[in-house]
């Protein structure tokens, strides 16, 4: 078996970001898997979360937020490179893992047993996993996905890697990356903190020029009548592209501000609370939409005005403190 970290899914302890007390238990597949990968390698995922501050409403979705590759390199020494597959996918993955490089690869959740109850054996949905161990001969794989660390084997392994060949000749290979660990990056906590502040200042310069909550309210008002005529499938798609993205993101932003306070930064409590409040209210708004669609009745969107006000106040406070 090719393996990087000696981990047991039965005893693995997930990071606090994926704890039971979170408002949004999941963020998106790419961020979730990196949180656990960073954590499992002994680092704190909070340090590289400044990117959560600069998301925007993109007219048809909120920003699908991700850790910037430069921040991962500067703060943890994680150098993420794209892998170009020219042979069997499983062979590529095993080769890179044998070199000590975790592989980030899009796989079909239909064959990922950790998604039981949502996608496993129910729906074909692509999702990013980070492979930590793999044995082609034994048909086994250990991987980070979503909120934790898991293992699969047998028929699931064979189907995921299409060992019997492509399902059809036009099926395209997945997007694949691998993580090289750069030992030249200073590993001290003090250096990580300094690099985190550098990333914070960079992100504060990328804040949207217009308040994204005002734009989202305008768009939501326009699309709501169409949603009320649609079914639960439309609700889930719209919610993932909107509520899930900015709700989970602002909870992470709140967590990052809290982390800054624990490092000794002063005067950030109100900002932390405002971002947490936004995350809570977005969850409530999502439930309200589900009820409105079930009843075919409209809903009040005025809460978005208060979100806009708190966002603006908090962003202004951060800009004044860190940009002067």
Cα 151 from Cα 146, distance rounded (Å)? 13
Tens-place pLDDT, residues 153-174:
999 999 999 887 665 555 677 8
pLDDT at 167: 57
Q: State pLDDT tens for residues 257-293.
A: 999 999 999 999 999 999 999 999 999 999 999 999 9
Q: So what's the pLDDT on residue 185?
A: 63
Q: Which two tokens stand for residue 185?
A: 């990056």
CA trace torsion 53, 308, 225, 222 (10° rounding): -80
pTM for the full model? 0.93
pLDDT in tens, 135-155: 999 999 999 999 999 999 999
How far apart are alpha carbons 92 and 234 in whole angstroms? 37
% of the chain beyond a pLDDT of 90? 87
Instruction: With a cut of 50, list the residues of the chain below it in pLDDT.
Output: none
Concatenate the DSSP letters of all residues of 193-242 into one string. HHHHHHHHHHHHTT--SS-HHHHHHHHHHHHHHHHHTS-HHHHHHHHHHT
Longest CA–CA span in the chain (Å) reads 60
Cβ neighbour number for residue 303 with a 10 Å cutoff: 17
How far, CA to CA in Å, does 20 sit from each of 17, 24, 74, 322? 9, 9, 30, 32
Helix (H) or strand (E) holding 129: strand 126-135
């Amino acid at each position: 078996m090719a393996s990087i970290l000696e981990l047991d899914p039965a005893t693995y302890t997930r990071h606090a970001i994926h704890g039971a007390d979170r408002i949004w238990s999941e963020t998106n597949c790419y961020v979730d898997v990196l949180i656990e990968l960073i954590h499992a390698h002994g680092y704190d995922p909070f340090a590289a979360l400044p990117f959560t501050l600069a998301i925007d409403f993109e007219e048809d979705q909120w920003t699908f937020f991700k850790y910037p590759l430069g921040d991962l390199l500067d703060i943890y020494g994680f150098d993420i490179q794209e892998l170009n597959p020219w042979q069997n996918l499983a062979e590529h993955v095993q080769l890179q893992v044998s070199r000590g490089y975790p592989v980030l690869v899009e796989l079909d959740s239909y064959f990922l047993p950790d998604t039981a109850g949502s996608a496993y054996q129910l729906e074909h949905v692509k999702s990013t996993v980070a492979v930590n161990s793999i044995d082609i001969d034994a048909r086994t794989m250990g991987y980070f996905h979503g909120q934790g660390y898991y293992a699969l084997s047998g028929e699931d392994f064979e189907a995921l890697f299409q060992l019997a060949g492509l399902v059809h000749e036009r099926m395209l290979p997945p997007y694949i990356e691998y993580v090289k660990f750069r030992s030249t990056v200073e590993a001290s906590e003090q250096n990580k903190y300094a690099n985190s502040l550098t990333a914070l200042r960079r992100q504060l310069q990328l804040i949207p020029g217009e308040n994204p909550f005002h734009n989202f309210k305008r768009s939501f008002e326009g699309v709501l009548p169409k949603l009320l005529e649609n079914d639960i499938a439309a609700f889930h798609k719209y919610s993932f592209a909107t509520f899930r993205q900015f709700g989970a993101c602002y909870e992470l932003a709140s967590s990052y501000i809290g982390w800054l306070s624990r490092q000794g930064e002063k005067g950030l409590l109100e900002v932390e609370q405002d971002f947490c409040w936004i995350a809570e209210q977005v969850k409530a708004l999502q439930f309200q939409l589900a009820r409105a669609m079930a009843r075919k009745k409209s809903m009040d969107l005025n809460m978005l005005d208060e979100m806009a006000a708190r966002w603006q106040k908090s962003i202004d406070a951060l800009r004044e403190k860190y940009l002067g």
